Amino acid sequence: MTTSEAGTLRLGTAQGRLVLLATVLGSSMAMLDGTVVNVALPRIGADLGASLASLQWTLNAYLLTLAGLILLGGALGDRYGRRKVFLIGVVWFAIASAACAAAPNIHVLIAARAVQGIGGALLTPGSLAMLQAVFHPDDRSAAVGLWSGLGGVSAAVGPFLGGWLVDGPGWRWIFLLNLPLAAAVIAVTTRSVPESRDESASGRFDVLGAVLAALALGAVTYALTAAGEGLSPAVWVSGVAGVVLGVTFVAVERRAPEPMLPLGLFSSRLFTAVNLVTLCVYAAFSGVFFLLVVQLQIVSGFSPLVSGFALVPITVLMLVLSARAGRLGKLIGPRIPLTVGPLLCAAGVLLMLRIGADSSYWVDVLPAVTVMGCGMTLLVAPLTATVLAAVEVRHAGIASGVNNAAARAAGLLAVAALPALAGLSGDAYRVPASVDSAFHTAMLICAGLLTAGGLTALATVRGNVLAPADHPVAEPDTEWSCGTTPPLDPGHVTATREGPATGGPAAGPSHKA
């Protein structure tokens, strides 16, 4: 299939299944590393003599470069070819993973994780944008639903797989696992995935915007992480600098001729609303997965393997039900799934307050993760499809990048801030009583974030942009003011069954997990 034939591939064909496989395996590399490392943190800390702040940076160095550069990764794919940039990201990620596995100390590991995040920023938006670009409009929602479900399974199976590796050959193998996975992705992608790009895009890049975004996130993350040790002058300076850099980034993007973040995307109320939901729910998810495995190992006395196994119900639920959740969102619209899903997750997180020193997996852990898994299953696929349905197909890469950046930035800030907010710092993560107290406080915060996400969806999401082609449903009042920033293209913004057309041709439903 050539670039000109993009948008015609059917999901039921052999090539369609291979394209889906390539994108799922590729995105799974980044998703796995987002969760598999969590369960290994206590062992990494003991082996390398790391403090809690160093363990936070083991997660956040990866999330920082991923979140800061993922928009640039989406733009590169749109302009130079999504398959090409995706493959570069896969190779980059594999090399950095090998460096993580060989790290002699915590400082080298943190640096290698930052490099690994750059590879993730190249491959993550491309995996979803390729689906949006090459599949027939009638198959996009189903393809995205499968991508979300299987990708979510990868994220959920990470703790179990990490626990097995940590208890077996050791924590370094959680990084070596990426090497054969990368080889499989390269083989399938090279053979079966057609190239696609935005033919109207130029070769100019917003380097200043990318640098400002990364510096702003880095400064705020440092401030939040260091705040756990006390509000020193360095914390205040870093925090203020991060805010100033963030404001400068918005000002630069507003005036840039080729912005990394086209602010006109946010002229769609639906796009803006769903990204606000994403910020809330992914901050909560990251907080839960960061601290739950620590609570299970340090307080409840579970082994790394059993701690990982505790999350298997989420894996099973997402594997079995995510495609159905995608179809449900297409049938009834995204508002109900995006409202009920986070509220179910919040209920599951509140049930985790029962997990303590004498907890039973069957009585205390299983009910909580099952309820949370039901909520995640209902939420993820419709969230993914709705974000991409809010923009034209030619902006699939940047839309995917924006939503992924929102999710990663939310996770980054949650991992940085939650321990300080919950009163956990220094070497206290090795003290059961300190961990237990902080865990309960953090879970209340996470439940609040999830509730806020569900209520945001209830108040802001309208219409059904995921409706089938023969049942167009307009979204009322889709356009709203975005300051002085014009829409992506001139003209009135209207929403159809295949998403809003910003003065251009209608685009098929699509998005991120």
**Per-residue tokens: 35:** 């969760």
Task: Report pLDDT for 163.
Answer: 85
Q: Annotate 162-171 with b (16+ C-beta within 10 A) or e (fewer).
A: bbbbbbeeeb
CA distance 75 to 82: 9
CA distance 147 to 134: 14
CA distance 2 to 425: 54
Task: State pTM to two decimals.
Answer: 0.77
Q: What are phi and psi of 495, to 5 degrees?
A: -105, 135
303 dihedral zone (left: phi>0; alpha: psi -120 to 50; beta): beta
| pLDDT digits 0-9 by tens, 162-199 | 888 998 999 999 999 899 999 999 999 998 888 888 77
Helix (H, G, I), strand (E, B) or coil at 501: strand
CA dihedral angle for residue 171, residue 174, residue 125, residue 24, rounded to 10 degrees: -150
The answer to whether 323 touches 149, Cβ cutoff 8 Å, is: yes
Helix (H, G, I), strand (E, B) or coil at 496: strand
CA distance 249 to 247: 5
Secondary structure, 3-state, 204-224: CCCHHHHHHHHHHHHHHHHHH
Other C-beta atoms within 10 Å of 320: how many? 12
Task: Name every residue whose Cβ is closer than 8 Å to that of residue 262 and which is 6 or more positions away in sequence.
Answer: 253, 395, 398, 488
Q: H helices of 295-311, where?
A: 304-309
DSSP calls for 133-181: HHB-HHHHHHHHHHHHHHHHHHHHHHHHHHHHHHHTT-TTHHHHTHHHH
Amino acid code (one letter) for 475: E
CATH fold for domain 3-205+258-502:
Growth Hormone; Chain: A; (1.20.1250)
Q: Running along the chain, 513 residues long, what does each successive block of 10 average in pLDDT?
A: 60 88 87 79 91 91 85 81 93 96 96 94 83 82 77 69 88 93 93 82 74 89 84 91 95 85 83 93 93 92 86 81 83 93 97 94 95 93 83 68 81 89 86 94 98 96 71 39 30 30 29 37
In 3D, which of 128, 80, 437, 407 has the Cα closest to residue 291?
437
Task: Report pLDDT for 397.
Answer: 59
Residues facing residue 479 across a β-bridge: 268
